Every structure is written in structure tokens, then in C-alpha cells.
Structure 1
Amino acid sequence: MPNTIGGLKPAMFVRIPAEAIIGAVVLLSLPRRPRLVLAALGGAVVGALAIVDVFNIGFLEYLGRPFNIILDWSLLPDARGYLQDTLGTTTELAITVGAVLLVFLVIGLVALAAVRLADQLARSRGRATRGTLIVGTVWITCNALGLSLTGAPLASQKAAAVLKTQVQTVRATLRDEADFQKVAKVDAFGNTPGSQLVPALRGKDMIFTFIESYGRSAIEDPIEAPGVDKTLDAQTAMLKKAGYAAKSGWLTSATYGGSSWLGHSTTMSGLWVSNQQRYRTVMASDHLSLTKAFKKTGDFDTVGVMPGIQKGWPEQSFYGLDKVYNAFQLGYKGPKFSWSTMPDQYALQQFQERVHSKKPADGKSRMSFLILTSSHQPWAPIPKMVPWDQLGDGSVFNAIQKAGNKASDVIADTTKSRQEYGKSVQYTVTALTQWLQRYGNDNTVLVFLGDHQPIARVSGNHASRDVPISIVAKDPKVLDAIDSWNWTDGLRPAHNAPVWKMSAFRDKFLAAYGSTPHPKKN
């Protein structure tokens, strides 16, 4: 069983597996009972490896990485939630039940087939022995001569290679857990007093915003880029008229295609949070997040607006947020847009009414943390901008949602997925920049970026993991402080603009705005 989409070719299924030859030799040498037990066990392992290969295909296609047999089971409930929001409860339930049955059937039927084959070998022991010897000789010859069929070696030992890879993955995962716990305890700003954190931003209206799936492909892909680039350039010009300036660069995300929380935590922690195990370690630590640095100063109220959060969110403590508004606390009465609980324009308006328009107590400033969701796959249906004073409780979006594309139609069409993805990014960028023009002030500093690239089917099989990042402000001193970064003027980073690892941003940002390092060491 191949473990990539590209490997699903007929030639891959006509190779000679070394494991089958060795298995036949062993089975022929055993008495009946141990022979049947070993055959059943071996068949079950072969079936399980085929299931792992299917998972690998899915993970490579959607997340750009192989399936991790230890860490990735926890993502399955999220996958179910995505299917439910996208295709409906009935379809999701049918897919889930079908997938579970398929797993048991594959493992069970392959085990039964192996038992039957072992019995046939024993019944025709003489012919089976000669056949095994002949096939073994052919395998050795093909392997020695490097013979192949349409690029696939005729002599295969893939099952052994998959087992070896999984064993190495388990060892590497366990080793990574121990190593990362040590890394997470070292923090260049961990012991910095609040009075020495971001002094250049005191009195500012700080806003950090992540745009879902806003990746480099949106700006450079030939299908997506024309519309997105036009929007970025137009909004740059509009912001300039309103007195704002911007600088933009690139960050290489720790994730790809999904698992947005890994991108959020990598940016804010300054640590490379590339898997669920690292994420749990960071969230349970006292490592200083960029957002918590503002809280630590004592001069900022800290608020989060999270329209994608629909359950308890203990991460609030790590991010140092005094108050968090989730999907159920923003008063939305309109329809969901597939996975996205509400249009970004509505979420931004609620941020304005519930948070931004109100002055913090005790003369403090405010630091806000927003995660916008309208550009989340499957990019159907996509909201449209409506007059800001007509947003109300969100019911105005009923007609827009009904008139939009069906998620099932877009998912099945790669070209349409790329087109609609680009439109979703245009929508969110427009909503965010219009909000800034409408409600921003002389002290507003907006930092917005993507969390990861969209899935490979949209971003391309060989796309980078880069995402755009922009800092927008009216105060020229804010952008002067990052002049040495050599970022591009405006909201659209140049192709050759600097590229940093996403984990580098926290320390660079803190240093640029006057923070003094006081390391906390393991």
C-alpha cells in the first residue's frame, strides 16, 4: 500500500514483497497451531500498516507531514468537528462509522486471508516450498539488478521500511518530548521585570490578529494572488489616506494546512511548537508569551476575541488574557459559514462594541488578541462585506450564506478551492483594514499575520511554509523601531523580503520596542 497520492499507481501493487517471501518460509516450517496464530497476527499487522498508510496520505495531503502514530490521534475529534461543520451531522456520522468499520474490516479480513493462505501453503507444502524458492530467487535478482516497473522497484521491502519508520518515529517523539521540556525552561525575557518590557509601546492601543490560513500562496500563487494582491495594495492606499503606514515581511510557520494553534503559540512563545506534544508542554509552562508580556507590565488590560473557540479554553492563562470572548459570547444570531462560527466583519464589530470602544479602568492601555476565522477551509460559503451600521445581531448574513457556494462542491474541485480561498483572504483583509480605518486611533498598533499556509491542494505540493506578517501604525516611531528589519513598505511583502522562523518574532519584537533581556535558565 503506497503512502502518498502520487504513489497510487498500478505498478506499485505488482511488486514482489520480501516480507511475504520470508513469511512463507516461516509459516512452512511451523506446526499447524503456531502457524495459524502467526498468520493471523501477521495479517493483522499488514492490515494495520495499510491503515497507517491511508492516514499518511491524508496527513501529507492536508497537513504536509506524515502521520505520527503517538501524537496525532488527538486530532481525530477535531477532524470530526470539521466534517460536521462542513458537510453536516448526518454526513459526518456516516463517514465516521464507515471509517471505523473500514479499519476493522481491513485488519480482520487481511488477518483471515493470511490464515487461509497459511493453510493453503501447508496443504501443498512441496509446491509451496518450490514456489517460495523461485520467487525468492527472482526477488534477489531484481534487487541486485535494480529492476523496476514505471519507476517502482520490483523487489520491495516496504512493510519492513514502514515498521522501521514507525519505530524511529516513536523513539524520536519520546526523545523530543524530553529535549523540548528543557528548551522551554530557557527564556531570554523570563525574568525581565514588567517595568522593562515594551517601554516604547506604553500608552499604545495594541492589537495582535491572526488570519486563518493566510499564507504566502495567497500573495504569490497565479490563481489566488491577483485578487489578494489587488486588495492588499488598495487597502494600503486607503490606510495611507487615513494616516497609517505599514511594513510587511515573512515568517516560516511551525505548521502547515491546519493545527492553527501551533502557529499561534509559536509566534507568541518564541518556541518552535511544531506538534501537539510540544503545544501541551508550552501551555503548561510559565514561559513568557508575547501577549502576557503586556499584562506583566501592569499598564495594559488584556482581552481576547476568539470566534473559533466553542469550548473551555485553558490556554487563556498562558496568553495572559484578563477576559476572553468565545463564539457564544459575541451575541451572534446569524448562520455559520461552514467551520467559521461567524463572519470576521461581525466579530470585529463586536470587538469594537464590547472591548475597543470602552476605556480600560485605572488609566491603563489595552492589548487585544484576535483570531479571525472566515478564511478557514473549505472556503464555502464565503461572507460578503455589508455596511457596518447594518450588522446588528448577524441575521443580515442569512441571505448571503444561503446564496453562497456549497462546501461539498468546492471541496471536490481543486481549481475552485484555490479561487475561493483567495476570495476568503480578500474578505478578511478588507474587513480588518476597514475596521482599522473606521475605529483605529492615533495610538493603535495593529500586528496581523497568517497562522499557516492552506492545504497542499490549494497552496501546491511544494509550497513553502511562509506566511505574511504586517505591522500597521500611525505613530512613525512604531515603524522606525523596526527599520533595521528591512521589511517591505505596505501590506504586501516583497518576494525577497526577509524570512524568519516564526519562533524568532517574539524576541525580535520585544527587543525592538525596548525590552531588556533577563534570562530565565533551566
Structure 2
Amino acid sequence: MISEKRTWPPLLVFGLAFLFLSVLLNVIYPANSLFSWRLLLPSIDVWLLLIPMAFAAGCGKRPLFWTRLTVWALFLFLRLLRIGDTAVPMYLNRPFNLYIDSSYLFGLYDLLRTSSRSGDFLLLSVIAVTVALGATASSWYAWQMAASALAVDRLRLVFLGGSGLILGAALISGSKPVEPPALVRLGQEIRFVQKQLEQQQAFVVRLEQVARDREAHPFSLKGLGGADVLLFMVESYGRIVFSRPQYRQAMAATMDRFAKVLDQQGFGAVSTYLLSPTFGGSSWLAHSTLESGLRVGNDLEYTLLLRSSLPPMAAIFHKEGYRTVSVMPGTRFAYPEGAYFGYQQAYYARHFNYRGRTFGWAPMPDQFVLDWVRRQEFDQREQPRFVRYALISSHAAFNIQPPFITDWAAIGDGSLYNDLEPIYFPIYWPDLKNAGDAYLRSLDYEFAILGDYLTKYVTADTMIIIMGDHQPNVQLTGAGESWSVPVHVISRNPRLLEPFRKRGYTPGLIPAQSPPHAGMDTFLPELLEDFR
């Protein structure tokens, strides 16, 4: 134990360490501006972490070392927690959930790697690693300096005495900080684990009840009359394109062109909005909600669904004599979860034998996907088809997009894309506020290829369903936007559209329904009821 008459040098060291650690924890990232006067505010979290270290300093060097190591690790964890609390609401429009969102780290890495140019990603990686190592090393040194200062008897006693007075006064007066400390947030996350387990149990009860009801009241799809059903899930196609004036004008022009193409070929269309279970990402939650007829709100519920006996959409279609096909060109890794969804044939990225270049996160353009599946599945039609497409050319960050190919016969194995210049937009993670034009162009591309494809290749009696999976991220939508997505049902056969009209779908391609909207989980039960 150290005893010093002069406490100014240790006090200076302690103050500088406290200030540096406060600044490091106060930095808000991601954000437009990383620097402000708020960085200099004393951090309650740093202060609270210093208290156990002060007690350990009075017990000797060994307890102080292990306490310092524990406090340092907890400090780094709190820093990561604050990044999650900032980033998740910015992109997914919901609070950060440590229990669930920690599993997305590899997906985030893959998204950044594939949606950035190679040189940009390398630079970003170097900067990120450098900053991370710098913060780790410098914070360790700062905690070491604080520990050495607290080993001084007089300074330690003054700090503990002052801390006791401040805490006592706060408890007596009932004062609370303007923003909850990160340590409080960590406690909330720990308590949430128990709450999440209770919610899982409730979800299992609902899951089992829906499965029993569906088994007790079996449905047929005879009302479809053997018509093909093509379900297109369009990535990031959200209500925002019709609800915000800055998007609505451009999107109205896109839909007007799409409508004219459909009208020329005798297609009719009705539209509505449905409420997606997710926002800005996690498309699998929307897919599983739609195909199970049960709202799946997070990955824990998703896992429970995959283990259940609830028959999904494809299994019901298969039972009624349909060949069921899943088209997921964005799935580049092993996907054992796909077995639950019951498709007879599933096409993932590796099945397409694509020979062209990639376009950001999308390993191939959707136009190539449509053409390839047509050649595989529709050149010969021995039974009706139910095909679910996951279209991905409108995936964030929208910065690298494919051109439209007018001659479908030239697409082949996709090698022609190697000779075509992609369409680039100056968009860089994590800032997507300037991505509006790129986002709209990606949707314009989707509806251009869909219009051309439907009019050239869909000749049989067919029901076409086009649905967004979720809204784009909050930087494009703004705060307070609903989680709703557009849904369009298209067919040359008015009989196939009539049940949707009766349920309130409006004629045309621009939905007119005001919130609140029914959930995406209502689509399958209503389809089974209307076409039994």
C-alpha cells in the first residue's frame, strides 16, 4: 500500500484517466458527428466501475490486478453495448437485443464485405481493426493509471468518501441521470433473458394451437382450379415508397409503367398493405411469418417454428397436387433450416451455375434468376406450380445494381454481365441517408424485369403475388414509419382476384388502405379460406 503526502500528481493522473475513459464511452457511433461537447461529460459508468477498483486497491496488488482486469473487460463490453443501442434502432427500427442480435455479427460482416467495393472494404477493415485495437490498448492503460492513482491512500479515501456522499444524496433525493447508464442497460438485458424465455413458452402454446386447428380443419385449394401461383418477395419493398412525397412521385411513375405493360396483356391487379414482423432486415422473419400463417417476431421464435409440426404454405400446396419450388439466390451458405418449409425443390446460389459478376450483396441479378428458373421449371408443365422467389437486387446498400437486359435469350449463364458496366451510386456504409435515388432505382429495376417477364412468359392461368418483405432501414424511412409493406395480386383471370377484392384490396397497383394494417400472418389463412 502506498502512502504519499503530495497527492497532486496522482490526482492529475486519476483525472486524466477518468476523462479519457469517459470520452471513450461517451462517443456515439454510428452517428453523423462523432465529436461534441457531450464527450467531456463525466461518465457515470466509469465512476461506478472505479468504486470496486478503489476497494480492491485497499486490499493489495493481487486483488487490484484481477479487479482491474474484470473492470476493463466490462468497460469494453459496455462500449460494444452502446454501439448496439445506436446501430440497431438506426437500421432495424427497434431496440437492441443482446440475446438475439449478437448472432448477427457474421451476417453484418458478410453484408459489409459484399456490398462494398474490394478496396473500400479493405480500407474499412484496416480502420476498424486499428480503432478497435487502439481503443482496447489505450483503455487498458487508462484503467492501469487509474488503479495506480487509487493505490494512494488519501486519494482513495477521498474518492470513496465523495462517492458515498453523492450516492447517498442521489438516493435520498430520488435524482436520476438524464440518460440511463450503460450498466443499467446491461442489467435490463440480463433481466430480459428471463422475460424472453417466458415469451418463448407463450409462442410455443400459440404454435401448437394453430397446428391443432389446421389439422382439425384441413383446407383444400380447389378454388384455384389448378392455376399456377407465383409468389415474389421483393427485398426492402416497403410502404414508404407510397407514403412519403419524396418517394411517391418516382414510385408512381414506376408503377404506371408496370401497369401499362400488364394492361396490354390483359392482367388485372388489386393491392393492399400488410404489416411485416420485421423492419430494415431479417427477411427470414417475414418469409416464415407469411408461409406459416403465424407471426414470427424474432430468431428465437423462428427456431421454435422450424422445430414444429405446423404445416407451412408449400406443404399445403404440395398436398393439393402442386410442384413446389423455392428460389433463394441470395442464400450462399448451408441452409438446413430450409427443410421445414417443405419445398420439393429449393434453388440456392450454388445451383444456378452463374458465370457473371456479382452486384453488391446479390451474387447474381434477379433477371438472370427469373430466366434460369423459367428454363428449369416452366418449359414443360406437367402439374401446377407454386414457386416462391426471394428477389434480392433491391437489397441494401443499393450502391451496385445490374442493368436491364432487353433480350432475355442473350442472358444464358450470365457471363454477359462481365462485359456490362454496373450502375454505381456513391453510397457508403454506415450512412444511407443519401440512398433514396439508388433505392428507388433498384425497385424500378425489379418491376421492369417483372413486367417484361410476366408479359413474355406467363401465359397459363396464373396467380401472381408480389409482396415486400420489410421496409428499408430507418435512414431512408425516417422515424415513426409503420412496418407495413405493399402487396399486389395479379392475374388474367378475374375469378382469382375476386376474393381479394371482397377482403378490401383496392384495384390497381397503389394500395389505398390507411393504417392500421393486418399482419402478414393473415395472408395464408385467408388464402386457404377463400380458395378451399
Consecutive unaligned residues in structure 2, runs of 5 or more: 1-24
Match of 1:39 in 2: 68
Q: Aligned-pair distance for 1:119? A: 2.5
* Alignment RMSD: 3.0
List gaps (5 residues or longer) in structure 1: 148-152, 515-522
C-alpha offsets along residues 337-395 of structure 1, whole Å, 9 cap, x if unaligned? Answer: 111122212211122211123212xxx32111111111011112222222223323323
Residue in structure 2 matched with residue 338 of structure 1 by the alignment: 360
Distance in 1, matches of 2:130 and 2:307, equals: 36
Q: Are residues 10 and 186 of structure 1, via their aligned partners in 2, closer, same or farther at CA, if it must alter by over 3 Å?
A: same
* 1: CA distance, partners of 2:130 / 2:328: 36
Q: Quick one: which amino acid aligns to residue 396 of structure 1? A: L
Partner secondary structure for residue 427 of structure 1: helix
Which amino acid is the alignment partner of residue 504 of structure 1? T
TM-score (norm 2): 0.85
Deviations 1:7-54 (A, max 9, x none): 966354344445555555544443123234223312321221111211
Query: What is the DSSP-based 3-state SS (H/G/I as helix, E as strand, rest coil) of the residue aligned with 2:115?
Result: helix
Cα–Cα, structure 1 residues 157 and 293, in superposed 2: closer, same or farther, change >3 Å? closer
Greater displacement, 19-28 / 351-360: 19-28
Cα deviation code 1:466-498 (max 9, x no counterpart): 111111112111111122321121111125277
**Alpha carbons 2:293, 2:524 under 8 Å: kept:** yes
Q: Tell whether the 8 Å contact from 1:410 to 1:417 is kept in structure 2 after alignment.
A: no
Q: Does 1:184 align with 2:230?
A: no
Q: SS state of the match for residue 479, structure 2?
A: coil
Q: Which residue in the other structure is 2:17 paired with?
A: none
In the TM superposition, residue 215 of structure 1 has moved relative to its aligned partner by: 0.8
CA 1:93/1:286 → structure 2, altered by over 3 Å: closer, same or farther? farther
Question: Identity percentage over the alignment?
Answer: 25
Question: What is the CA–CA distance in structure 2 between the aligned matches of 1:155 and 1:468, rounded to whole Å?
Answer: 39
Return the letter of the residue paired with 2:245. P
How far the C-alpha of 1:257 sits from its partner, in A, is 1.2
**Change beyond 3 A, Cα 1:415–1:78:** closer
Tell me what 1:129 maps to: 157
Q: Does residue 391 of structure 1 match 2:420?
A: no
2: CA distance, partners of 1:264 / 1:481:
23
Match of 1:256 in 2: 279
Residue 520 of structure 2: which of 502, 506, 509 is its match? 502
User: For the structure 1 residues 18 and 415, does the alpha-carbon distance in structure 2 shift closer, same or farther, using more than 3 Å as the test?
Assistant: closer
Please tell me the residue identity of whatever aligns with 1:261.
Answer: W
1:321 deviation in Å? 1.2
Q: Which amino acid aligns with 2:315?
A: K
Deviations 1:120-144 (A, max 9, x none): 1221x32443355456656777898
Larger deviation: 302-311 or 2-11?
2-11
Which of 416-425 and 73-82 deviates more? 73-82
1:425 and 1:23, CA in 2 relative to 1: closer, same or farther beyond 3 A? closer
- Measured in 1, the distance between the counterparts of 2:158 and 2:497 equals 78
What one-letter code is carried by the residue in structure 1 that aligns with 2:405? V
Matched letter for residue 494 of structure 2? P
The alpha-carbon distance between structure 1 residues 428 and 118, as it changes in their structure 2 partners (threshold 3 A), is same
Moved more, 411-420 or 114-123: 411-420
Encode CA deviations 1:380-417: one digit per residue, 9 max, x unaligned.
222222222332332333344x35216x6454764541
Q: Distance in 2 between matches of 1:502 and 1:473?
A: 21
- Check conservation: 2:149, 2:155, Cα contact below 8 A: no
Letter in 2 for 1:208: L
- Preserved contact between residue 257 and residue 456 of structure 1 (Cα < 8 Å): yes
- Per the alignment, do residues 40 and 315 of structure 1 end up closer, same or farther by CA in structure 2, a change over 3 Å counting? closer
1:112 and 1:173, CA in 2 relative to 1: closer, same or farther beyond 3 A? farther
- Check if 1:233 corresponds to 2:261: no
Q: 1:499 aligns to what SS in structure 2?
A: coil
Displacement, 1:146? 9.7
Amino acid in structure 1 at the alignment position of 2:302: Y
Q: Quick check: 346-355 or 388-397, which moved more?
A: 388-397
1:293 to 316, 338, 359: 316
TM-score by length of 1: 0.86
Given that 1:254 and 1:272 are in contact with CA atoms closer than 8 Å, whether structure 2 keeps it comes out as: yes
Q: In the alignment, which residue of structure 2 is the partner of 1:443?
A: 461
Q: 1:372 to 1:105 in 2, by over 3 A?
A: same
Deviations 1:221-260 (A, max 9, x none): 3333322221112322331231111111111111111111
Q: Show CA shifts across 1:148-177 (max 9, x none).
A: xxxxx8676503312222112322233333
Q: Does 1:174 align with 2:193?
A: no
2:446 aligned counterpart, secondary structure: helix
Equivalence for 2:241: 218
Which of 383, 386, 393 aligns to 1:374? It is 393
Aligned-pair distance for 1:269?
0.8
2:278–2:483 CA contact under 8 A, matched in 1 = yes
Instruction: Please give the alpha-carbon distance, in whole angstroms, between the structure 2 residues aligned to 1:67 and 1:498.
Output: 25
Asked if 1 retains the 8 angstrom alpha-carbon contact of 2:355 and 2:415, the reply is yes
Query: For residues 160 and 381 of structure 1, do their structure 2 counterparts lie closer, same or farther at Cα, with a shift above 3 Å needed?
Result: closer
Deviation at 1:438, TM superposition (A): 1.5
Q: Give the match's secondary structure for 1:317.
A: helix
Aligned position for 2:36: 10
1:80 is paired with a residue of what secondary structure?
helix
Of 453, 459, 477, the match for 2:471:
453
SS of structure 2 residue aligned to 1:258: coil
Contact between 2:114 and 2:361, CA under 8 Å: does it hold in 1?
A: yes
- Structure-2 change in CA distance of 1:146 and 1:192 (3 Å): closer
Deviation by residue 1:183-219 (Cα, 9 ceiling, x = unmatched): 222226531676x322211311111110111111122
Distance in 2, matches of 1:31 and 1:430, equals: 72
Structure 1 counterpart SS, 2:274? strand
- Which shows bigger deviation, 236-245 or 108-117? 108-117
Contact 1:452 1:465 survives alignment (8 Å): yes
Contact kept, 8 Å, 1:224 with 1:422, in 2: the verdict is yes
The structural deviation recorded for 1:87 is 2.3
Q: 1:150 maps to what in 2?
A: none
Q: Does 2:58 align with 1:58?
A: no
CA distance in 2 between partners of 1:248 and 1:95 (Å): 42
